[in-house]
Amino acid sequence: MFPHQRVIVRRGPESGLPIIVAVHSTARGPAIGGCRMAAYPDWRDGLDDALRLSAAMTTKCALAGLPHGGGKTVIVLPPGAAGPARTAALHDAGTTIEELAGAYATGPDVGTGPDDMAVIGERTEHVFCRPAEAGGSGDSSPATAAGTIAALRALCEFRFGSPDLSRRSFAVLGLGRVGARVARLLADAGAELTVSDIDDSKRPENVAWTDPGKCLAAEVDVLVPAALGGLLTPRTVPTLRCRAIAGPANNQLDRESTAALLHDRGIVWAPDAVVSAGGIIHATAVELRHEPPARAMARVEAIGDTLGRVLRAAATDGIPPAEAATRLARAAMP
Ligand code: PHE
């Protein structure tokens, strides 16, 4: 069966670039999911990404208890591209989203931010996280980072018997908008910290730094994947020296079966669909339900409770947390 409800692949009329909008499900409500702008070797790789990421958004919304389904937009930049066609490409994404008449709304993702959402907003109202002056809830990364910290506390409580982050060591892999914030919050909490990014210029002062390959295999309590997905594979899992993993990166496992490899090694993997939901929880609470920021942040904090529930269910049933999350998400589908 073809699992997606609707997928649009088109050459952007303004940019000439491949524009992909994948609506995985609207069973729980209108689909939401960010707009990724990235270089791919081929547009088909961008399509694969959109299909996988939109399906993951359905799970993310279901586990967060949101009345939404999953979708994703991918704008395929040519390899090595820099940005003159950026505005045109964002307009193309907006035009395409507008044609879906509310079945899907977008937001920021890898390669895009609030200002880009304002540009998409010139073509459609179905866009989250425009800057406040353009009528949106602004940058979603503080909420995503706060949700990640709530998840890390719950994970530490489950794995090490205390939610106190100052007693543990962490390796943060990826210092983008969300990863850099998570690292700062961990440092503020007094955690022992190692960080890494493929971009050396992101190296912060006064924090231990390693190259990304070493970071993945760092001997720490918790590995925090905060860059692109697909880093946990049958090849990398045997090299890991952490005791638990939780981070905001989407689709960390290269395939479902990798969860069992982590489980067999005794590494507790917190499903990314739970950990990374802070952005959508906050944006939908503020922009659709007009909740005050404090109420929205309380919802984000509840990610810790959700993760605790998933980890305990997994332990009770003797299954990997990924499987427990999938079960819970399925049960939440109408
Ligand atoms: N990148 C966000 C995610 O993966 C997408 C998003 C954020 C969508 C905020 C809407 C609002 O969850």
DSSP 203: P
Residue 80 inside a domain? The answer is yes
CA 72 to ligand 1: nearest atom:
5
Per-10-residue mean pLDDT for the chain, 334 residues long? 96 96 98 96 96 97 98 91 81 98 96 96 98 96 97 98 98 96 98 96 93 95 94 97 97 96 98 98 97 96 98 97 96 95
Both 86 and 180 in one domain: the answer is no
CATH number, domain with residue 235: 3.40.50.720
Cα gap 59→245, rounded to integer Å: 19
CA 110 to ligand 1: nearest atom:
1
Both 179 and 309 in one domain: the answer is yes
Query: How many angstroms does the Cα of residue 86 sit away from the middle of ligand 1?
Result: 20
The residue ranges of DSSP E strands in the chain, in sequence order, are: 6-11, 18-23, 31-32, 35-39, 69-77, 104-105, 169-173, 192-196, 208-209, 222-225, 244-245, 268-269
> What is the identity of the amino acid at 169?
S
Contact 187, 175 (CB under 8 A): no
Both 89 and 213 in one domain: the answer is no
Residue 168 inside a domain? The answer is yes
CA 77 to chain centre: 20
Both 74 and 102 in one domain: the answer is yes
Closest C-alpha among 177, 53, 34 to residue 108? 34
Structure tokens at 48: 């694969």
Task: Please count the structural domains in the chain.
Answer: 2
Residue 208 inside a domain? The answer is yes
Check if 109 has its Cβ closer than 6 Å to any atom of ligand 1: yes
Please tell me whether residue 181 adopts helix, strand or coil conformation: helix
Task: Give the residues across from 105 on adjacent strands.
Answer: 32
- The Cα-based distances of 68 to 58, 105, 202, 256, 328 in angstroms read 7, 10, 35, 23, 16
Contact 322, 270 (CB under 8 A): no
Both 199 and 324 in one domain: the answer is yes
Contact 251, 56 (CB under 8 A): yes
Of 60, 72, 202, 214, which residue is the catalytic one? 72
CB neighbours of 187 closer than 8 A, spacing ≥ 6?
A: 193, 207
Both 85 and 102 in one domain: the answer is yes
Q: Looking at residue 82, what is its pLDDT?
A: 63
Q: Looking at residue 145, what is its pLDDT?
A: 98
Phi, psi of 99 (to 5 degrees): -65, -20
Per-chain mean pLDDT for the chain:
96
Number of CB atoms found within 10 A of residue 125's CB: 11
Contact 15, 54 (CB under 8 A): no
Number of CB atoms found within 10 A of residue 263's CB: 18
Q: Looking at residue 196, what is its pLDDT?
A: 97
Query: How many angstroms does the Cα of residue 206 sit away from the middle of ligand 1?
Result: 31
Q: Looking at residue 84, what is its pLDDT?
A: 65
Domain of residue 245 covers: 141-276+303-331
CATH number, domain with residue 101: 3.40.50.10860
**Residue 72 falls in the annotated catalytic set:** yes
Both 84 and 40 in one domain: the answer is yes
Task: Give the residues across from 196 on adjacent strands.
Answer: 173
Both 120 and 163 in one domain: the answer is no
Cα gap 99→80, rounded to integer Å: 30
Both 90 and 198 in one domain: the answer is no
Both 12 and 124 in one domain: the answer is yes
Query: How many angstroms does the Cα of residue 109 sit away from the middle of ligand 1?
Result: 6
Report pTM: 0.96
Choose the final residue of a domain: 85, 119, 134: 134
What's the angle, vertex CA 291, arms to CA 289 and CA 292, rounded to 5? 160
